[in-house]
Structure 1
Amino acid sequence: MIAEDTHVGMFAGKVALVTGASSGLGEAAALKFAREGAKVVVAARRAEQSARVVERIVELGSEALFVSTDVSRAADVERMVKTAVDKFGRLDYAVNNAGIAGPRFTPIAEVTEAQWDQVMGSNLKGVWLCMKYEIPAMLANGGGAIVNIASIYGLKPSDIGHGPYCTSKHGVVGLTRSAAADYGQMSIRINAIAPGFTLSEMVDPTRPGAAEKYQALVERHSSMKRLGHAEETANAITWLCSDTASYVNGVVLPVDGGSVTRMY
């Protein structure tokens, strides 16, 4: 007789919230949580794309909920967390991934105030707002784990005229480490991922003229000389949320193929 497969996933009975989950890293993380048994809150601005992610989660046998959210708006974020708790009764994990690229190939003195404020609002203020409302929900449940999405440009300067984005991600690193110190003793672990260049809507080498640019970037930033895949980052995210990372708090984990130190 063949034994029945009783595997239900390491997050069975848990609830995960992922912002920016309509595509890319956020979508991959949402699907990974679902495969491991979690119920998933898909938070994003784009309804049609998010609905497809919800459908995929349901096809995997889990439950999902889409909440339209602009993370730069406090009322949206408060509603996002309240809706998650009202629907599923708890919040165990959060991935604060939503963000924008902002101006590229633009020297810092040429960045407009509106551009600066938009990037900081989504990428830095948005992460703070998410934690502001996620943490009380987790405390009410006895604890949890948060993963903020920074960038390799949160650990070093941008080399592509990408100052606002780089500054915002440095801010996410500092915010993560500070929050981890505040709440580690309260059974909430807070860590960050620093992805390298990873295939997504934002990093699409199939666009005209883009392949050569991204090849140059991976030569500079990945010792593996390739772009990453969203699933590779999702694996790191869910590991940080899992019990196997139970003593990991306040770290910023690069997922970038290794830094480049070679001379050839």
Structure 2
Amino acid sequence: MSLNTHYIGRFAPSPSGPLHFGSLVAALGSYLQAKSQQGRWLVRMEDLDPPREMPGAADDILHTLEAYGLEWDGPVLYQSQRHDVYQAQIDAWLHSGAAYYCRCTRKEIKAAGGYYPGTCRTRHHSAENSAVRLRVDTPITHFHDILHGRIEIPSALAQEDFIIHRRDGLYAYNLAVVLDDIAQGVTEVVRGADLIDPTGRQIGLYRQLGQPEVSYLHLPLAVTENGNKLSKQNHAPAIDKQNPNPVLIQAMTFLGMTPPADLADSSREAILRWGCQNWHVGRLPQATAITLAF
């Protein structure tokens, strides 16, 4: 089976802990969407925030993906190795006036109503003790999601000049993810519904950069009975590397598929082959969150 060079998808975890079931759902959904179209599936490690990272987590995540048969095409990209690319773009925008330095604190923004009102746009601050914000002159007020259709973005959020370089020196997620998706040739982003909100900003970045936009598919989140999404911060348990078949079946079922009862007894490769052959976006649950019973 030849690769479809026109479709490139990706899975981009942050190495803040081991892979849990919610992460597996995102990995599997993006993998099946790519492979069902004979496309390429890439893995990127979003290691932008060292204070939140767990030593050894990046390698552990890759070993877990391998244990589940989710083999990626091409080298793994690490955001920690791309700071010069992010800085070069920020410098270009600062030079052109498309970005500016901001010294507003979270407390001040909260007092102004919760959204940044553009306070520092004309203040000409220096880099010292400043974040960098991108001017939003043409807000993205809606976008099309492959599963959910037209998604409206709240006006105040859409109009907000957003941070692309944090005051603490870390590069912002929105900037890095778009520059990396462009660099990797990604054509479609399949990820969890918790990332719906920043999608408008990311589309705005594509337009600012004059680059073709990707399409978006936001999968339902796995949440606990109290409504919290499964996450490393909420101490979601790591998935079992030694016995992947039952968890793969569970993830496929979560994504609206109906694996036959005897599939769990097949090889891991056979399970994934069945998944690619039976994957269909139209069968995905329309909900943005699904409660898991453990």
Same-fold call, TM > 0.5? no
Q: In proportion to residue count, which structure has more helix?
A: 1
When Rg is computed on C-alpha atoms for both structures, the one with the higher figure is 2
TM-score (norm 1): 0.39
TM-score (norm 2): 0.36
